[in-house]
Amino acid sequence: MTTELLTDITIFVLALLVGFEVISKVPATLHTPLMSAANSIHGIVLAGAMLIAVTAHDALGYILAFVAAAFAAMNVVGGYVVTGRMLKMFRRSRTPVPAADTAAAVSGNGQTPAAGQQAGQRGGQA
């Protein structure tokens, strides 16, 4: 057993404990966005997929690099965008104070209007 491996295992175990500690505080209301956020975090596998390219020098390597990059990029991009979309819908009150958000609040038909989207990006938190 190498020192490197021991370090890796230590990091894994500690990260697991941090994960349990942090995530057990998330309220049930946010469990779907939480899972979606966790989903986007495991999109970090994109880093692994990109590193395949470093050692890919034959047809099989290229195919694996391509598919892995496509899978991981779908995971990471889709995960973050959909989590953001969900969290934007959680509002404290029916008539939010920021004027720009009202447009989104009034429509309430599931289609987020562009105005609300931009306001959300600028406003940080609704």
Partner 1 sequence: MSAFDWVTQLLYVAAATCFVFGLHLMNSPATARRGNQVSTAGMVVAVATTLALVAHAGTVTTTGWIVMIAGALLGGGAGLYAARTVEMTAMPQLVSIFNAVGGGAAALVGIHDYVRLASGGIGESTTVFTILDVLIGAVTFSGSIIAAGKLQGLIDGAPIVFPGSRAVNVAAALVAVGGACYMIATPSVVVLIIIILAALTFGVTMVLPIGGADMPVVISLLNAFTGTAVAMAGFVIGNWALIIAGALVGASGGILTKLMADAMNRSIRNIIVGGFGTGDSGPAIEGPGGDVRSIQADDAAIQLAYAQKVIIVPGYGLAAAQAQHQVAELASVLEERGVEVSYAIHPVAGRMPGHMNVLLAEANVPYPQLKEMDEINPEFARTDVALVIGANDVTNPAARRPGNPVSGMPILDVDHAKSIIVIKRSMGHGYAGIDNELYVDPKTSMFFSDAKGALTELTAAVKTLVA
Residues within window 9-28 making contact with partner 1, judged by CB under 8 A: 11-13, 15-20, 22-28
CB contact at 8 A, 116 and 99: no
Q: With contacts defined by CB under 8 A, how many residues of the chain interact with partner 1?
A: 93
Instruction: Please report whether residue 119 would count as binding partner 1 according to CB under 8 A.
Output: no
**Could you give the CA distance from residue 99 to residue 116 in angstroms, rounded to a whole number?**
10
* Residues 43-82 as x/- pattern, contact with partner 1 by CB under 8 A: xxxxxxxxxxxxxxx--xxxxxxxxxxxxxxxxxxxxxxx
Radius of gyration of the chain (CA): 20
CB contact at 8 A, 37 and 83: yes
Both structure tokens of 14: 């500690």
Instruction: Please report whether residue 85 would count as binding partner 1 according to CB under 8 A.
Output: yes
Both structure tokens of 124: 């940080």
For residue 17, the minimal CB distance to partner 1 (Å) is 8
Instruction: Please report whether residue 114 would count as binding partner 1 according to CB under 8 A.
Output: no
Instruction: Please report whether residue 118 would count as binding partner 1 according to CB under 8 A.
Output: no
